Amino acid sequence: MLTPKRLKFRKQQRRRRSGCDYAGSTVAFGQYGLKAMGDCWMSSRQIEAARVALTRHVKRGGKIWIRVFPDKPVTKKPLETRQGKGKGPVELYAAVIRPGRILFEIEGVDLQTARDAMRLAAQKLPIKTRFVEREVSHT
């Protein structure tokens, strides 16, 4: 699973999740992409499950890019613990996802295979997504 190699600080504050993503909102590497329509904290387990679903469906054909990385440590205190006594230990790492963010990209497969693969990957994710194609520039 994806985790950062090293961090400047072991624990982070939560911060706000409002707003849209403008950086990373276009298909940059592949031909087709999966775009987030909502906001969430996507765990490394969810990203890995979607990646496995994608690669299995395309039968290791084509090329897949993962455009998000879980670099936010999420802490959790044990159940039935009283308040106080500091912040809990790091439970998992999450990627902060805002609407408009491209999550996965794929190329080297036909449109229908890409659409089916992205649909399977989207079922593993906690937010609504949309299948997008790369815009052709007329320059």
Task: Render pLDDT for 2-54 as a digit per residue (tens, 0 to 9).
Answer: 899 998 999 999 888 788 888 889 999 999 999 999 999 999 999 999 999 99
Q: Please give the Cα distance from 132 to 103 (Å, whole number).
A: 11
Contact 102, 35 (CB under 8 A): yes
HEC profile of 79-95: CCCCCCCCCCCEEEEEE
Q: pTM of the predicted model, to two decimals?
A: 0.91
Q: Which stretches of the chain are DSSP H helices?
A: 44-57, 111-123
Contact 131, 34 (CB under 8 A): yes
pLDDT in tens, 78-132: 999 999 999 999 999 999 999 999 999 999 999 999 999 999 999 999 999 999 9
CA 127 to chain centre: 10
Phi and psi angles of residue 57, each rounded to the nearest 5 degrees, phi first? -70, -40
